[in-house]
Structure 1
Amino acid sequence: MATQFIVIVILALLILSSIVINNQIIAKKNQVAQAYGSIEVYLKKRFDLIPNLVAMLNKYLAHEKEILLKVTELRSQIEKAEAPKEKIEASNELTKVMRGLNINVENYPNLKADQQFLNLQFQLTDIEDQISAARRAYNAAVTAFNNKIQMFPASVIASLRKDETAALLEIPKAAQKEVHINQLLTP
Structure 2
Amino acid sequence: MKRSTVVWLVVGALVIILIMSAVSSYNGLVSKENAVDNKSAQIDTQLQRREDVIPNLVSTVKGYAAHEKEVFQAIADARTKLSGAGTTAEKSEANAELEGALSRLLVVVENYPTLKADAQFTKLMDELSGTENRIAVARQDYNNSVTEYNTKIRKFPAALFASMFGFEKKDMFKAAPGAETVPEVNF
| Equivalent residue for 1:41, pick from 42, 45, 51 | 45
Distance 2:138 2:170 in 1: 16
Q: CA deviation at 1:85?
A: 2.4
Q: CA deviation at 1:152?
A: 0.6
Q: CA deviation at 1:106?
A: 1.7
Taking only the aligned residue pairs, the percentage that are identical comes to: 35
Runs of 4+ with deviation above 6 angstroms: none
The corresponding residue for 1:124 is: 128
| Equivalent residue for 2:183, pick from 169, 179, 184 | 179
The corresponding residue for 1:14 is: 18
Distance 1:110 1:58 in 2: 13
1:172/1:84 CA distance change after superposition, 3 Å: closer
Q: CA deviation at 1:173?
A: 4.5
Q: Which runs of 5+ in 1 are unaligned?
A: none
- Which has the larger Rg? 2
Q: CA deviation at 1:91?
A: 1.4
Contact kept, 8 Å, 1:97 with 1:181, in 2: the verdict is: no
Q: Deviations over 1:69-122 (max 9, x none)?
A: 110111111222233322231112101221232233222100110010011111
Contact kept, 8 Å, 1:103 with 1:180, in 2: the verdict is: no
Q: CA deviation at 1:57?
A: 1.2
**Which secondary structure does the structure 1 equivalent of 2:108 belong to?**
helix
Letter of the 1:143 counterpart: T
TM norm structure 1:
0.93
Q: Which runs of 5+ in 2 are unaligned?
A: none
Q: Deviations over 1:2-44 (max 9, x none)?
A: 1110000000000001101100000000000000000000011
TM norm structure 2:
0.93
1:53-92 equivalences in 2 (<5 Å): 53-92=57-96
The corresponding residue for 2:144 is: 140
Contact kept, 8 Å, 2:78 with 2:101, in 1: the verdict is: no
Distance 2:89 2:177 in 1: 16
Provide the aligned C-alpha RMSD in A: 1.3
Distance 2:174 2:81 in 1: 19
The corresponding residue for 1:23 is: 27
Contact kept, 8 Å, 2:89 with 2:171, in 1: the verdict is: no
